[in-house]
Each structure stands twice: as C-alpha cells, then as structure tokens.
C-alpha cells in the first residue's frame, strides 16, 4: 500500500511538472492606473492558488478558535460535575 501511495505522488508530481513546463508563456496582468505585471502563466496560477489556500485557512480560523474555547469550557464543566459525584 505504501508503494502505491508513493507511486501516486510520483505520477502527480510528474503531471504537475509537465503542466508547469507547458505553461511558461509570459502573460500580462493589467491593473488600474496603467500598472502592468508580466510573469509566466504557471507562476501566476501558483500565486493565485496559494492566495486561495490562505484565504480558505483564514476563513476557518474563527470557527476553529470558537470550537477550542467551547471544548475548554466543556472540559471545565465536566471536571466540576465529576468532583461532585
């Protein structure tokens, strides 16, 4: 099973590497005030992917911290109930 997982990751890596080498054309991103940024297509794709991952993780942090506070409160209540038994 371990070898199948490694084979899967190797194939995925080779697929992504071939995708990156096929998309090396320079593209131009135009912003306001005539600002332009030229970069390879694969770099732009990877930057936007990373930006999306960061936004997704940050959107989950509020829920995570809320759940952590709730777990701490429930553990305190549980210990108080067990002391009275």
Query: Each residue's pLDDT tens digit in the chain (85 positions)?
Result: 888 999 999 999 899 888 888 878 898 988 888 889 898 888 888 899 999 999 999 999 989 999 999 999 988 888 777 776 6
Q: Is residue 37 part of a domain?
A: yes
Q: Is residue 5 part of a domain?
A: no
Cα separation, 83 vs 31, in Å, equals 64
Q: What is the pLDDT of residue 59?
A: 92
Q: What is the pLDDT of residue 53?
A: 94
Q: What is the pLDDT of residue 23?
A: 78
Q: Number of C-alpha atoms within 13 angstroms, CB side, residue 69?
A: 5
Q: What is the pLDDT of residue 45?
A: 86
Cα separation, 35 vs 37, in Å, equals 7
Structural domain count, the chain: 1
Q: Is residue 10 part of a domain?
A: no
Cα separation, 51 vs 34, in Å, equals 23
pTM above 0.75, yes or no: no
Domain span at residue 49? 26-84
**How wide is the angle at C-alpha 62 spanned by C-alphas 61 and 64, nearest 5°?**
60
CB 23 within 8 A of CB 43: no
């Amino acid at each position: 099973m371990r070898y199948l997982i490694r084979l899967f990751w190797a194939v995925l890596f080779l697929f992504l590497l071939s995708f990156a080498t096929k998309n090396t054309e320079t593209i131009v991103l135009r912003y306001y005030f005539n600002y332009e940024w030229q970069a390879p297509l694969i770099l732009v794709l990877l930057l936007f992917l990373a930006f999306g991952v960061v936004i997704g993780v940050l959107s989950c942090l509020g829920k995570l911290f809320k759940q952590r506070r709730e777990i701490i409160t429930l553990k305190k209540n549980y210990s108080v109930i067990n002391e009275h038994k």
